[in-house]
Each structure stands twice: as C-alpha cells, then as structure tokens.
A and B are shown apart, each in its own frame.
Chain A
C-alpha cells in the first residue's frame, strides 16, 4: 500500500502547479530528507546521499519549478536506493 509520501509524489508528478511550501516539506520529509532553516533560504539534504540537495524559498506559494525539481530529486533517490540494494 503506497505511503502518504508516495501518494503525494504521484499527485505532484501529475500536476506541478498550485502546491504550497508545506506540501513540499511533507514530500521531502516523507522520503527522509532533512530540511534546515538557513540564512536566506532553506536547504534540503539527504542524510544517506550527500549529492541530493535542494534549496527552498520561504514563500508560502511555490513556483512549479520547485515541484519539478523535487520530483526529479526523489526519482534520483529511488534509483540510488535501488542501486545500493542491488
């Protein structure tokens, strides 16, 4: 049964518009990313794969590019997890 984060990922894959910052936080945290509140922007990092990083603005409304990037980053995470398992 898909987790909440997996369902959210599929919804974002289907439509990149009209998401809020809180939705993106839920998505990243659902895939074990850590969000740290930085100087001007927030930084998203994955504890197991240091190369997976993203920045987030502090606006409530999100431009769709941030959602597109998050989907790509999580797809890369899933590939890396599969490679490390296999």
Chain B
C-alpha cells in the first residue's frame, strides 16, 4: 500500500457515493495554557493498494509523538482492501476522529501511520503557545 494523502482537519466524512469530504485542513494549534486539550480533530489517510491486494485485511496504527519522541497516543484498527472498480487500483480512506487529545507542552508533534507495521506516512502538527496580550503602554 502506498500513501496518497495524510492530513489533519476540523472535519471529514465519506459520502454515500464514496466521496471524501475534508474541511479545515490545519498544521497548527494555538493554546493559552499547557497541557492543552484539543476537543476534536479528524485525521484523514488515503492509501492506494495494488490490484492483487483486493480482499486482504490490513492492520493500521496511528501514533502521535511529541518533539522528544515520546508517544502521546496511539489508535489501531483494521480495514479490508476493496475491489478496484473498472480495472483501477483500489483506494482506502481512513478517517479517525480524535477527541480531547492532550498536548503536554508546545512544540512540534508528529503523527505517524503504519500499516502492518510498515511506515506509510508522517505529518507534523505544531502546537503553539499564544502570547499573552501585553498591557497598553501610554
């Protein structure tokens, strides 16, 4: 399987017709205080499969690591590779809603996606400290 898309957004879904909707793609989060809780975000991965992979079950894991390489969270699941329509290579969409993720400190975080323990992609998410507003000086 090869990675076609890996991003984080405010919202994503898949329509009845199989279209992937993604709204509000971002790479930065801003917080006043730490640890900072982010109420909801959607992690979206689109993976391309080879025709011969049809029907096979794959295990995936998404990990979130902080700037020091410590794991903040991980989510695992399974999917079945669909049949490629009209001779096209099949594609798999994975959408994970991540609720109340806690970022202990500001810095660069890294989402990593693995399929059957093989690395398929990485995505940086920058968590920034909002600067306190300075008092007006006359």
Contacts and interface: CB of A to CB of B under 8 A. Distances in A.
B61 to A, nearest CB: 12
Interface stretch (B13-21, B35-43, B90-98, B114-122): B114-122
Q: Which DSSP category, helix, strand, loop or mixed, fits chain A's interface? A: mixed
A36 interface: yes
B68 A66 contact: no
B68 A39 contact: yes
B15 to A, nearest CB: 30
Contact of A63 (B63, B68, B108, B119): B119
Interface in A37-54: 37-43, 50-51, 53-54
Interface residues of A, number: 19
Contact of A69 (B63, B67, B117, B122): B122
Contacts of B114: 63, 65
Contacts of A53: 108, 110, 122, 124
A40 B119 contact: no
Interface residues of B, number: 19
B69 A65 contact: no
B70 interface: yes
A42 B70 CA distance: 9
A36 B66 CA distance: 12
B70 A38 contact: yes
A64 interface: yes
B69 A37 contact: yes
Contact of A39 (B71, B112, B122): B71
Given A38-B68, A39-B71, A55 B112 contact: yes
B122 A40 contact: no
B69 A41 contact: yes
Contact of B65 (A38, A63, A68): A38
Contacts of A50: 108
A53 B125 CA distance: 11
A68 B121 CA distance: 10
A65 B118 contact: yes
Contacts of A39: 66, 68-71
Interface of B: 63, 65-71, 108, 110, 112, 114, 117-122, 124
